[in-house]
Amino acid sequence: MSGLLFLVLAAALAAHLAVPRLKAPSKALLMPLLLLFYCLEADRIDPWVVAALAAATLGDILLLKPDVAVRFLSGLGAFLAGHVFWAVVFLRSTDGLRGVPAWFALAAIPYLGFAVWFLRKLWKEVAGKRAALIVYCLAIVFMSLMALARAFTHGGTAFWLPFAGSLLFLASDTTLAFLVFHKRTAWGDVLCMSAYVAAQSLLVVGMLAG
């Protein structure tokens, strides 16, 4: 059943990317399918994972029309909540960073460097939305940093899959921001959506492994 759900998820992604008439309904199905997979596979369902995938579903629906300002900001808010929920999942899995050494704070430096680069690249294009973008950027780098912190409490796929998923999320959201504010490219949507679905899938499978 779980394998079938992943095949359906892949088919929905392909339909979203290749069939214009199915672009909206197929995108709205992506995260609910992943959520169903998680609920079927989990020995104990974590409500924070459910909340993260539900927030992503809402964000997907709202961002079907990112050129509408209210919907874009609402979608941004939904994904912001999703990143916060994933960060909570990671924090809970490390028992509130217990066992993580103090020097791990140095790992925040490259993340902050990425945030500065990202914001500088888009600063002129996001006039009027700068505060929202700063908060969002800090939320996603914090989420990935918390995924990295699990290296001290988890090993193997339980660590590597969620951490890789968090990095793919950074790549996906960066691509989306450049597509919306900077310049659209022929393969931009393919790269963005493929990285996004892969990111969420790795996060889910990795947490199941843990």
SS (H, E, C) the chain: CHHHHHHHHHHHHHHHHHCHHHHHHHHHHHHHHHHHHHHHHCCCCCHHHHHHHHHHHHHHHHCCCCCCHHHHHHHHHHHHHHHHHHHHHHHHHCCCCCCCCHHHHHHHHHHHHHHHHHHHHHCCCCCCCHHHHHHHHHHHHHHHHHHHHHHHCCCCHHHHHHHHHHHHHHHHHHHHHHHHHCCCCCCHHHHHHHHHHHHHHHHHHHHHHC
pLDDT, one tens digit per residue, over 12-57 is: 888 877 787 888 888 888 999 999 999 999 999 999 999 999 999 9
The tens digit of pLDDT for each residue in 141-178 reads: 999 999 999 999 998 999 999 999 999 999 999 988 88
Q: Look at residue 184 in the predicted model and tell me its pLDDT.
A: 67
What proportion of the chain, given as a percentage, has pLDDT over 90? 58
* Chain segment 123-137, per-residue pLDDT in tens: 888 777 788 889 999
